C-alpha cells in the first residue's frame, strides 16, 4: 500500500503524540526525539485514546487507566500477551507518512 501523508514534521514535536487518520482508522503518531512511530490509537485495556496519552521517551501511557506501551514495538508493559498493531512511518522531506 502507498504511504499516507498524515502530518508535517513540525506538527508533532519531540515528546508529543497526535491522533491521525489512516485508511479510515484512527492511528496514534508519536515523535520520540525526532523519530516517528505509529500504533493503533486504541488501548487494549479499555479502548482509551493513546494519541491523547502521555509520551515519556518511547513509552506512551493511556490517559484513561494508565496502561503503558513501547511505541516502537507496540508491546504492553502491563500485560506481556498484549501488543498494539504498529505501522511503518516514512519521513519524506517535511511530510510524515504512515503505511496502512
Amino acid 44: pLDDT: 97
Q: Does the residue 67 lie in any domain?
A: yes
**Please, are residues 60 and 68 in contact by the beta-carbon 8 Å criterion?**
yes
Average the pLDDT over 73-85 and give the result: 97
Amino acid 1: pLDDT: 85
For 1-50, the pLDDT digits (tens) are 899 999 999 999 999 999 999 999 999 999 999 999 999 999 999 999 99
Q: How much is the pTM?
A: 0.96
Q: What is the mean pLDDT of the chain?
A: 97
* Residue 66 Ramachandran class (φ > 0 left, ψ -120 to 50 alpha, else beta): left
Q: Does the residue 36 lie in any domain?
A: yes
Counted domains in the chain: 1
% of the chain exceeding 90 in pLDDT: 99
Q: How confident is the model at residue 100 (pLDDT cuts 50, 70, 90)?
A: very high
Q: Which domain holds residue 79?
A: 16-92
Amino acid 49: pLDDT: 98
Q: What is the CATH number of the domain that holds 44?
A: 2.102.10.10
Q: Does the residue 2 lie in any domain?
A: no
Helix, strand counts (H, E) of the chain: 0, 9
Of 75, 94, 83, 97, the closest CA to residue 29 belongs to 97
Amino acid at each position: 500500500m502507498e504511504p499516507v501523508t498524515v502530518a508535517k514534521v513540525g506538527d508533532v514535536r519531540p515528546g508529543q503524540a497526535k491522533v491521525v487518520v489512516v485508511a479510515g482508522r484512527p492511528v496514534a503518531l508519536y515523535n520520540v526525539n525526532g523519530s516517528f512511530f505509529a500504533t493503533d490509537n486504541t488501548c487494549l485495556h479499555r479502548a482509551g485514546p493513546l494519541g491523547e496519552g502521555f509520551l515519556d521517551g518511547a513509552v506512551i501511557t493511556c490517559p484513561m487507566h494508565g496502561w503503558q506501551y513501547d511505541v516502537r514495538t507496540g508491546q504492553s508493559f502491563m500485560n506481556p500477551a498484549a501488543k498494539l498493531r504498529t505501522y511503518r512511518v516514512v519521513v519524506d522531506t517535511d511530510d510524515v507518512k504512515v503505511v496502512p
